[in-house]
Amino acid sequence: MSPIKSICVYCGSGFGSDPIFKESAAALGRAMAEGGISLVYGGGNVGLMGTVARSVLDNGGYVTGIIPDFLKSREKMLDDVQETIVVPDMHTRKRLMFDKADAFVALPGGIGTLEELVEQMTWSQLGQHTKPILMLSIQGFWKPLLGLLAHMREQGFIREGLELNYLVAEQTKDVLPMLEAYARRVGIVENEELIEERF
């Protein structure tokens, strides 16, 4: 049985310039649904966000959309999802997405995707959670960020004892196995508490 029951997916509200981004979002949604893993996402029906959500639904999976009130019309809420939560602001949205997810995956996206990803990396670095964080670097999308993180290490701003914990996959098929292996290594998320595995 997988230790991962739900994944929060961060991704663009656009499709990007390469069709493979959309194909990868659909493939991830299908894999999640087939693996019995529910989706937590930003609630919109546009771009890669809409693609991954529709793919989960089309393959029999469960979707929770969390959207702030001011984005309801702009991002065209996906009405078919099993659970929609409308919140007053972005801070509440991000906190609920965190609470409802066992892991985080960042697909290609813009500044909002980057901000959400980096926030989870920061919380992890500060010891606030041990949930797996994975960048799906389709066509090397996340390479510039990985280069920046390496530069931060070289310049002494990511120091020993404050290392970042993240995974990088280049193919969609590797996402779920990598998340599950990481979750088993650090513990199992159960009833919103981290239970250390005893060997």
Residue with tokens 């090397």: 140
- Report the pLDDT value the prediction gives residue 75, as an integer from 0 to 100: 63
Q: Which tens digit of pLDDT belongs to each residue from 95-113?
A: 999 999 999 999 999 999 9
Do 136 and 104 touch, CB atoms closer than 8 A?
no
CATH of domain 6-195: 3.40.50.450
Sign of CA dihedral 57, 191, 135, 180: negative
- Report the pLDDT value the prediction gives residue 186, as an integer from 0 to 100: 85
Q: What's the mean pLDDT in 141-164?
A: 94
CA separation for the pair 97, 181 (Å, rounded): 22
- Report the pLDDT value the prediction gives residue 189, as an integer from 0 to 100: 44
Q: How wide is the angle at C-alpha 13 spanned by C-alphas 86 and 89, nearest 5°?
A: 30
- Report the pLDDT value the prediction gives residue 196, as an integer from 0 to 100: 36
What's the Cα-to-Cα distance from 60 to each of 1, 31, 71, 80, 136, rounded to whole Å?
18, 11, 26, 12, 23
Q: How wide is the angle at C-alpha 90 spanned by C-alphas 87 and 94, nearest 5°?
A: 90
The DSSP bridge partners found for residue 136 are 169
E strand or H helix at 136: strand 133-136
Residue 191 has pLDDT above 50, yes or no: no
3-state secondary structure of 130: coil
Helix and strand numbers (H, E) in the chain are 6, 9
Q: Which tens digit of pLDDT belongs to each residue from 45-72?
A: 999 999 999 999 999 999 999 999 888 7
